[in-house]
Every structure is written in C-alpha cells, then in structure tokens.
Amino acid sequence: DADVTQTPRNRITKTGKRIMLECSQTKGHDRMYWYRQDPGLGLRLIYYSFDVKDINKGEISDGYSVSRQAQAKFSLSLESAIPNQTALYFCATSELGQFNEQFFGPGTRLTVL
C-alpha cells in the first residue's frame, strides 16, 4: 500500500461548489503539506502543519482552508471553488530533519468549470 494516499484522484466541479481533498499517510510523520502544481509555476505551498495542533499558511493560502484531523490525516478545502483553482494538488509528509525530505502523494487533478 502507498505510504501517502490522496482522494479523490480526479475531480471535476463547478464554480461556487465546496470541495474537500483528503490526504492520509502511514509513514508516522508529524509534518504534512498541501501544494498545488501549475505549468510553469511549479509546486507552491498552500498550507502546512507540523503537528495536530499546528496549522500554518503557505505562499498561496487565499481561497483554501485545511483541517488536521489526526497525525495521519490532513484535508484541504476549497470553500467556493473558482476556475483559477484548476490545478494538480499534492499532499506531502516529512519528519523534522536536515533536508526535511518530503514524501508526496500521487496527486489530485482538480478541474473547476
């Protein structure tokens, strides 16, 4: 089984709808991250959490919210989706370390019409 899983893998929705993307991990890591990937822009950090009680905004948090339900679960919500949130979304986990190696999930392809 994959160490970092994301659901759904693909989602098409309409403008204004609320969407939740879920991430689960079995690596036992405290740190979890949500990124979005757009062509030409690379991976940009949306939110990150260093433990269950810690939530931090990343580079592009506007229009998004997160919930850290447990050490192993970190959800990303789009309260009212808009077309420019169409992107590939990745969850990642890491331990605290020198290189803070991040382990990524397979991604969720989200299309907002």
Partner 1 sequence: QKEVEQDPGPLSVPEGAIVSLNCTYSNSAFQYFMWYRQYSRKGPELLMYTYSSGNKEDGRFTAQVDKSSKYISLFIRDSQPSDSATYLCAMSRGYGQNFVFGPGTRLSVLP
Residues near partner 1 (CB under 8 A): 4, 33, 35, 39-45, 48, 58, 90, 92, 96-107
- Shortest separation between residue 72's beta carbon and partner 1, angstroms: 17
- Shortest separation between residue 11's beta carbon and partner 1, angstroms: 15
Using the minimum distance from each CB to partner 1, give the nearer residue, 45 or 72.
45
Using the minimum distance from each CB to partner 1, give the nearer residue, 84 or 98.
98
Using the minimum distance from each CB to partner 1, give the nearer residue, 8 or 106.
106
Q: Three-state SS string across the chain, please?
A: CCCEEEECCEEEECCCCCEEEEEEECCCCCEEEEEEEECCCEEEEEEEEEECCEEEECCCCCCCEEEEEECCEEEEEECCCCHHHCEEEEEEEECCCCCCCCEECCCEEEEEC
- Shortest separation between residue 16's beta carbon and partner 1, angstroms: 28
